[in-house]
């Protein structure tokens, strides 16, 4: 089986034109089939402010109401996704932008209300790989934004980390998939203040220990849950760190193991 | 060769949720390979107003400045395109949204400044059909918005009628292409006030006569120029009229002939 890289980038790369452009150049130069997944960055919030759309909060959690979903669709699928695709084309990387609605690639359902109604947020049910694999074989690079759909005409806001892991898992039937989460730190840190305290290897047992010791907490928990979900479901390699891990020989980053 | 329908819809359909939904149902039911091209509608203007972005005008002509291009990208490629794709998926039409940057499908150059600098407006140089044809053969329906790119990282605003005709022409190498322009009137009218005065057949000679007689004027001229450009370049059938021409047996509309 061929190796396929699924690479997720977040706001720290998207929000800085110079950094994004550098990343896309590096991304283009990576050999072999690849998929890019991008989050949203700060622009959606800025646009909502400009349009005087208040941020919906329930019990301290952000809600995707209809107005917010419209903004997210415009910013993620429009502005950010198409800017990335156009730049990749400049570097001769033949990219096509996707939401989960395009090609019916990622099907989700509106998150079921338990205590909080998150609004138009989608939890993924299925990834259809037919169109994605066909494009990859034609040397096209899919670029996914953080939007899925429910097959009933409704677009849904979906966590980009989860999109990356679910794509990686689904494509593991046909490829040796490597999943890379690029973020602002060198990896999972033992001391959040010290960028050199990278933990280079975490397995499930160690993960439990790190959570108990409160070394891994808050936002890192869903991120790492995604990583373990992927590595436990046939994804060959899962790494977290700065973009440098993709191309620098001796860079330090975190690798997740079963 | 198979028949391929290229269908262009404009603001009169896009701006009305009920009409759009009805159209998309009809579109889904059309047999055989097809491509949808959509214009922008009024939402981009409304969004610009909300964001206090002034409309740039030079000598009475609208200019696509950087702020306008950003809005167009968000509205055309984001909001409208993804809403159409999600709705088509609901009807089990497996659609994928495109700008000309996606799959490097439509390459243009920034319009050369003669008397007016139109800003980020693209005139089409080439249509690359490889990805489009492969998707059509896989029973996927491409949905194009009115944005192209210059292969140098720049997105460009491009007339949707022209995108439709250039797609139709390029795909005529592989398909018997039928090109349909859906708009608010039953076709080209002899008397603009009388919707029953449809001219059912126009050839180049008659077109010249109708222009001289000022029966065809203003905005209809670029639209018909696009039609003749297509019919003179191997497109098999070019029609203008209401959506009904696509499916109603006895509806009247205008057919363009060489």
Beta bridge partners of B109: B123
Q: Which helix (H) or strand (E) holds B144?
A: strand B141-144
- What pLDDT is stored for residue B57 in this prediction? 78
Residue A75: closest CA among chain B residues belongs to which residue? Answer: B74
| Nearest CB neighbour to B134, from listed A104, A138, A151 | A138
State the pLDDT confidence band at A54, using cuts at 50, 70 and 90.
confident
User: Which residues in B lie closer than 8 A to residue A85 (C-beta atoms)?
Assistant: 99, 101-102
**Most A-contacting residue of B103, B132, B152 (CB-CB within 10 A), to test interface:** B103
What chain B residue is nearest to A71 in terms of C-alpha separation?
Answer: B79
Beta bridge partners of A124: A108
Element (H, E) at B67: helix B66-72
Contact call for residues B54 and B108 (beta carbons, < 8 A):
no
Q: What is the model's pLDDT at position A7?
A: 98
Interface of A with B (CB under 8 A): 47, 50-51, 70, 73-79, 81-83, 85-87, 89-90, 94-99, 101-104, 130-131, 134-135, 138, 140, 147, 149, 151-155
In this predicted complex, what is the ipTM?
A: 0.96
Q: Are B27 and B88 in contact (CB under 8 A)?
A: yes
* Residues recorded for chain A: 258
- Confidence category of residue A112, pLDDT binned at 50, 70, 90: very high
3-state SS, residue B216: coil
Q: Which residues are within 8 A (CB) of A99 and not within 5 positions of it... i.e. 6 or more apart?
A: A73, A76, A77, A106, A144, A145, A147, A148, A149, A155, B82, B85, B97
**Strands A147-149 vs A155-157: parallel, antiparallel or unpaired:** antiparallel
Give residue-wise pLDDT tens across range A182-211. 999 999 999 989 989 999 999 999 999 999
Rounded to whole angstroms, the Cα distance separating A181 from A92 reads: 24
């494009």: which residue's tokens?
A135
**A142 neighbourhood in chain B, CB within 8 Å:** none
Q: How far is CA B187 from CA B16, B165, B199, B209, in A?
A: 20, 17, 7, 17
Q: Which chain B residues touch A97 with a CB distance below 8 Å?
A: 77, 97, 99, 101-102
The CA distance from B153 to A91, in Å, is 8
Please name each of the domains of chain A with its CATH number.
Answer: 3-256 (3.40.1160.10)
Residues of chain B falling short of pLDDT 50: none
Q: How many CB atoms lie within 10 A of CB B67?
A: 13
Residues of chain A in contact with residue B97, where contact means CB-CB under 8 angstroms, are: 77, 97, 99, 101-102
Candidates B123, B192, B186; CA nearest to B156 is: B123
Task: Kindly identify which residue of chain A lies nearest to residue B71, measuring between CA atoms.
Answer: A79
**pLDDT at residue A171 in the model:** 98
pLDDT value at residue A1 = 92
The confidence score (pLDDT) of residue A66 equals: 95
Q: Rounded distance, CA A130 to CA B181, Å?
A: 32
Residue-wise pLDDT tens digits, A58-89: 777 789 999 999 999 999 999 999 999 999 99
The pair phi, psi for residue A175, each rounded to 5°, is -140, 160
pLDDT at A197: 96
**Sign of the alpha-carbon dihedral angle for B102, B106, B207, B115:** positive
């Amino acid at each position: 089986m061929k190796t396929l890289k699924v690479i997720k980038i977040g706001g720290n790369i998207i929000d800085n034109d110079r950094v994004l452009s550098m990343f896309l150049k590096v991304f283009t130069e990576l050999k072999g089939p690849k998929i890019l997944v991008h989050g949203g960055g700060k622009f959606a919030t800025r646009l909502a402010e400009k349009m005087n759309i208040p941020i919906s909060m329930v019990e301290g959690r952000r809600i995707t109401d209809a107005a917010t979903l419209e903004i997210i669709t415009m910013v993620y699928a429009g502005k950010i996704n198409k800017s990335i695709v156009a730049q990749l084309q400049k570097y001769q990387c033949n990219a096509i932008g996707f939401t989960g609605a395009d090609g019916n690639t990622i099907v989700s359902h509106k998150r079921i209300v338990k205590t909080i109604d998150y609004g138009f947020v989608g939890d993924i049910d299925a990834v259809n790989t037919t169109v994605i694999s066909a494009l990859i074989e034609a040397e096209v690079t899919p670029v996914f934004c953080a939007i899925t759909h429910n097959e009933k005409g409704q677009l849904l806001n979906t966590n980009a980390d989860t999109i990356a892991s679910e794509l990686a898992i689904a494509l593991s039937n046909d490829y040796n998939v490597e999943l890379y989460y690029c973020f602002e730190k060198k990896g999972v840190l033992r001391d959040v203040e010290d960028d050199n305290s990278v933990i280079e290897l975490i397995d499930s047992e160690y993960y439990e220990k790190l959570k108990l010791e409160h070394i891994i907490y808050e936002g890192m928990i869903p991120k790492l849950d995604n990583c373990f979900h992927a590595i436990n479901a046939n994804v060959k390699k899962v790494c977290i760190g700065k973009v440098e891990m993709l191309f620098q020989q001796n860079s330090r980053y975190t690798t997740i193991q079963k």
